[in-house]
Amino acid sequence: MEPVRAKVCGLTRAEDALAAERLGAWAVGFVFAPSKRRVTPEQAAAIGARLGPFVMRVGVFVDAPPDEVLAVARTARLGAVQLHGREPPEWAEALRRHLPVIKAVRLSGPPDPALLTYPADALLADGPRPGSGEAYDWGWLEPLADHPRLIVAGGLSPERLPELFARLCPYAVDVSSGVESAPGVKDEARLRAFLQRVRRGCG
Ligand SMILES: O=C(O)c1ccccc1NCC(=O)[C@H](O)[C@H](O)COP(=O)(O)O
Protein backbone atom coordinates (compact mmCIF):
# COMPACT_ATOMS: atom_id res chain seq x y z
CA MET A 1 0.00 0.00 0.00
CA GLU A 2 1.33 3.45 -0.97
CA PRO A 3 1.95 5.68 2.04
CA VAL A 4 0.09 8.97 2.34
CA ARG A 5 2.50 11.73 3.26
CA ALA A 6 1.65 14.60 5.60
CA LYS A 7 2.80 18.19 5.71
CA VAL A 8 2.04 20.33 8.75
CA CYS A 9 1.90 23.95 7.67
CA GLY A 10 1.96 27.33 9.37
CA LEU A 11 4.56 26.49 12.02
CA THR A 12 5.77 29.30 14.24
CA ARG A 13 7.16 27.36 17.24
CA ALA A 14 10.02 24.87 17.49
CA GLU A 15 8.09 22.68 19.92
CA ASP A 16 5.31 22.21 17.34
CA ALA A 17 7.80 21.38 14.60
CA LEU A 18 9.48 18.82 16.85
CA ALA A 19 6.09 17.30 17.72
CA ALA A 20 5.22 17.09 14.01
CA GLU A 21 8.51 15.29 13.31
CA ARG A 22 8.12 12.92 16.28
CA LEU A 23 4.55 12.07 15.28
CA GLY A 24 5.49 11.27 11.69
CA ALA A 25 5.11 14.37 9.48
CA TRP A 26 7.11 14.20 6.25
CA ALA A 27 7.25 17.99 5.85
CA VAL A 28 6.73 21.21 7.76
CA GLY A 29 5.66 24.51 6.23
CA PHE A 30 6.65 28.09 7.01
CA VAL A 31 4.51 30.97 5.75
CA PHE A 32 6.47 33.96 4.42
CA ALA A 33 3.41 35.77 3.01
CA PRO A 34 1.15 38.13 5.00
CA SER A 35 -0.52 35.88 7.57
CA LYS A 36 -1.13 35.46 11.28
CA ARG A 37 1.41 32.63 10.95
CA ARG A 38 4.05 34.61 9.12
CA VAL A 39 7.64 33.95 10.21
CA THR A 40 10.90 35.58 9.21
CA PRO A 41 13.48 33.55 7.29
CA GLU A 42 15.68 33.63 10.39
CA GLN A 43 12.89 32.25 12.61
CA ALA A 44 12.23 29.46 10.09
CA ALA A 45 15.95 28.64 9.98
CA ALA A 46 16.11 28.45 13.78
CA ILE A 47 13.06 26.15 13.95
CA GLY A 48 14.31 24.01 11.05
CA ALA A 49 17.73 23.66 12.69
CA ARG A 50 16.08 21.77 15.57
CA LEU A 51 14.74 19.08 13.21
CA GLY A 52 16.41 15.97 11.83
CA PRO A 53 17.64 15.62 8.25
CA PHE A 54 14.65 13.72 6.86
CA VAL A 55 11.95 16.34 7.41
CA MET A 56 11.36 18.57 4.39
CA ARG A 57 11.25 22.30 5.19
CA VAL A 58 8.81 23.99 2.80
CA GLY A 59 8.43 27.75 2.36
CA VAL A 60 5.02 29.20 1.44
CA PHE A 61 5.05 32.29 -0.81
CA VAL A 62 2.36 34.41 -2.48
CA ASP A 63 3.42 36.17 -5.69
CA ALA A 64 6.99 36.74 -4.54
CA PRO A 65 9.45 37.09 -7.46
CA PRO A 66 11.93 34.19 -7.86
CA ASP A 67 14.97 36.17 -6.67
CA GLU A 68 13.16 37.02 -3.45
CA VAL A 69 12.01 33.41 -2.97
CA LEU A 70 15.55 32.12 -3.49
CA ALA A 71 17.01 34.63 -1.03
CA VAL A 72 14.50 33.55 1.63
CA ALA A 73 15.09 29.88 0.79
CA ARG A 74 18.83 30.29 1.34
CA THR A 75 18.44 32.05 4.70
CA ALA A 76 15.66 29.76 5.93
CA ARG A 77 17.45 26.65 4.54
CA LEU A 78 14.33 25.46 2.74
CA GLY A 79 14.15 22.17 0.86
CA ALA A 80 11.16 23.12 -1.32
CA VAL A 81 8.91 26.09 -2.06
CA GLN A 82 5.12 26.31 -2.29
CA LEU A 83 3.68 28.99 -4.59
CA HIS A 84 0.29 30.09 -3.34
CA GLY A 85 -0.54 33.01 -5.63
CA ARG A 86 -0.83 33.66 -9.35
CA GLU A 87 2.81 33.02 -10.16
CA PRO A 88 3.47 32.78 -13.92
CA PRO A 89 4.88 29.43 -15.10
CA GLU A 90 8.20 31.14 -15.93
CA TRP A 91 8.73 31.90 -12.24
CA ALA A 92 8.20 28.25 -11.33
CA GLU A 93 10.59 27.18 -14.11
CA ALA A 94 13.26 29.53 -12.78
CA LEU A 95 12.80 28.24 -9.23
CA ARG A 96 12.88 24.59 -10.28
CA ARG A 97 16.49 25.02 -11.37
CA HIS A 98 17.23 25.32 -7.64
CA LEU A 99 14.46 23.67 -5.62
CA PRO A 100 11.36 21.49 -5.96
CA VAL A 101 8.22 23.58 -6.50
CA ILE A 102 4.73 22.84 -5.17
CA LYS A 103 2.03 24.82 -6.99
CA ALA A 104 -0.95 25.59 -4.79
CA VAL A 105 -4.36 26.42 -6.23
CA ARG A 106 -7.18 28.07 -4.28
CA LEU A 107 -10.41 26.33 -5.17
CA SER A 108 -13.77 28.04 -5.29
CA GLY A 109 -14.94 25.70 -8.05
CA PRO A 110 -13.43 22.91 -10.19
CA PRO A 111 -9.87 23.80 -11.28
CA ASP A 112 -8.89 24.53 -14.85
CA PRO A 113 -7.40 21.26 -16.23
CA ALA A 114 -4.63 23.45 -17.78
CA LEU A 115 -3.19 23.45 -14.28
CA LEU A 116 -1.93 19.94 -15.07
CA THR A 117 0.65 21.45 -17.44
CA TYR A 118 1.98 23.99 -14.89
CA PRO A 119 5.71 23.30 -14.32
CA ALA A 120 5.65 21.98 -10.75
CA ASP A 121 6.83 18.92 -8.87
CA ALA A 122 3.50 18.61 -7.05
CA LEU A 123 0.08 20.30 -7.06
CA LEU A 124 -1.64 21.36 -3.85
CA ALA A 125 -5.40 21.81 -3.88
CA ASP A 126 -6.34 24.29 -1.18
CA GLY A 127 -9.50 25.99 0.01
CA PRO A 128 -10.48 29.45 -1.23
CA ARG A 129 -8.80 31.18 1.74
CA PRO A 130 -5.56 29.38 2.65
CA GLY A 131 -5.02 28.79 6.34
CA SER A 132 -8.67 29.55 7.17
CA GLY A 133 -9.81 25.95 7.56
CA GLU A 134 -12.41 26.52 4.84
CA ALA A 135 -13.26 23.33 2.98
CA TYR A 136 -14.47 22.71 -0.58
CA ASP A 137 -16.19 20.01 -2.55
CA TRP A 138 -13.68 17.18 -3.06
CA GLY A 139 -15.63 16.29 -6.22
CA TRP A 140 -13.93 19.36 -7.76
CA LEU A 141 -10.63 17.46 -7.68
CA GLU A 142 -11.79 15.11 -10.45
CA PRO A 143 -9.84 16.98 -13.22
CA LEU A 144 -6.65 16.57 -11.16
CA ALA A 145 -7.24 12.95 -10.16
CA ASP A 146 -4.57 11.56 -12.51
CA HIS A 147 -1.85 13.87 -11.25
CA PRO A 148 0.83 11.64 -9.68
CA ARG A 149 1.56 14.09 -6.86
CA LEU A 150 -1.66 15.70 -5.73
CA ILE A 151 -1.58 17.18 -2.24
CA VAL A 152 -4.98 17.76 -0.66
CA ALA A 153 -5.27 20.71 1.73
CA GLY A 154 -8.01 23.05 2.90
CA GLY A 155 -10.14 22.45 5.94
CA LEU A 156 -8.65 19.07 6.82
CA SER A 157 -8.83 17.77 10.37
CA PRO A 158 -8.54 14.43 12.18
CA GLU A 159 -12.35 14.17 11.94
CA ARG A 160 -12.49 14.70 8.17
CA LEU A 161 -9.66 12.37 7.09
CA PRO A 162 -11.72 9.15 7.10
CA GLU A 163 -14.20 10.65 4.64
CA LEU A 164 -11.40 12.01 2.43
CA PHE A 165 -9.61 8.65 2.30
CA ALA A 166 -12.86 6.87 1.50
CA ARG A 167 -13.20 9.10 -1.57
CA LEU A 168 -9.63 9.47 -2.82
CA CYS A 169 -6.10 8.51 -1.95
CA PRO A 170 -3.82 11.50 -2.52
CA TYR A 171 -0.03 11.60 -2.67
CA ALA A 172 -0.12 13.78 0.47
CA VAL A 173 -2.30 15.84 2.77
CA ASP A 174 -1.55 19.26 4.23
CA VAL A 175 -3.04 20.71 7.39
CA SER A 176 -2.77 23.90 9.36
CA SER A 177 -5.77 25.27 11.27
CA GLY A 178 -7.39 21.84 11.76
CA VAL A 179 -4.63 20.91 14.23
CA GLU A 180 -4.34 24.29 15.96
CA SER A 181 -5.54 25.75 19.26
CA ALA A 182 -4.83 29.29 17.93
CA PRO A 183 -3.31 30.58 14.69
CA GLY A 184 0.29 29.38 14.56
CA VAL A 185 -0.06 27.28 17.73
CA LYS A 186 -0.48 23.55 17.11
CA ASP A 187 -2.45 21.33 19.48
CA GLU A 188 -0.40 18.20 20.12
CA ALA A 189 -3.40 15.91 20.69
CA ARG A 190 -5.01 16.99 17.39
CA LEU A 191 -1.67 16.71 15.60
CA ARG A 192 -1.23 13.19 16.94
CA ALA A 193 -4.76 12.17 15.90
CA PHE A 194 -4.25 13.61 12.42
CA LEU A 195 -0.86 12.00 11.81
CA GLN A 196 -1.94 8.65 13.27
CA ARG A 197 -4.84 8.54 10.82
CA VAL A 198 -2.56 9.51 7.93
CA ARG A 199 -0.15 6.70 8.84
CA ARG A 200 -2.97 4.16 8.56
CA GLY A 201 -3.35 5.28 4.95
CA CYS A 202 -6.30 4.98 2.61
CA GLY A 203 -6.86 1.25 2.83
O1 LIG B 1 -1.66 29.85 6.62
C2 LIG B 1 -1.77 30.97 6.12
O3 LIG B 1 -2.14 31.93 6.80
C4 LIG B 1 -1.47 31.22 4.66
C5 LIG B 1 -1.50 32.49 4.18
C6 LIG B 1 -1.23 32.72 2.83
C7 LIG B 1 -0.95 31.67 1.99
C8 LIG B 1 -0.90 30.39 2.47
C9 LIG B 1 -1.17 30.14 3.79
N10 LIG B 1 -1.18 28.87 4.30
C11 LIG B 1 -0.82 27.74 3.54
C12 LIG B 1 -1.28 26.53 4.24
O13 LIG B 1 -0.91 26.34 5.37
C14 LIG B 1 -2.31 25.66 3.62
O15 LIG B 1 -3.18 26.52 2.99
C16 LIG B 1 -2.98 24.86 4.71
O17 LIG B 1 -2.38 23.66 4.85
C18 LIG B 1 -4.45 24.67 4.56
O19 LIG B 1 -4.94 25.43 5.56
P20 LIG B 1 -6.07 24.88 6.54
O21 LIG B 1 -7.33 24.91 5.76
O22 LIG B 1 -6.06 25.86 7.66
O23 LIG B 1 -5.67 23.50 6.98
Distance 176 CA to ligand 1 centre (A): 6
User: Ligand 1 pocket test: which of 7, 12, 57, 60 has the largest number of ligand atoms within 8 Å of its C-beta?
Assistant: 60
CATH code of the domain covering residue 32:
3.20.20.70
So what's the ipTM on this one?
0.96
The model scores a pTM over 0.90: yes
Q: Cα(124)–Cα(111) distance, rounded to whole angstroms?
A: 11
Taking only the tens place, the pLDDT of each residue in 82-111 is 999 999 999 999 999 999 999 999 999 999
Phi, psi of 122 (to 5 degrees): -155, 155
Cβ 124 vs Cβ 82: under 8 Å: yes
Cβ 173 vs Cβ 151: under 8 Å: yes
Count of structural domains within the chain: 1
Atom of ligand 1 minimally distant from the CA of 127: 21
Atom of ligand 1 minimally distant from the CA of 62: 7
Taking only the tens place, the pLDDT of each residue in 116-139 is 999 999 999 999 999 899 999 999
Question: Does the beta carbon of 60 lie inside 6 Å of ligand 1?
Answer: yes
Taking only the tens place, the pLDDT of each residue in 162-187 is 999 999 999 999 999 999 999 999 99
- In the chain, what percentage of residues exceed pLDDT 70? 100
- Domain, as residue range, for 127: 5-200
Q: How many residues does the chain have?
A: 203
Question: Does the beta carbon of 56 lie inside 6 Å of ligand 1?
Answer: no
SS3 state at 22: helix
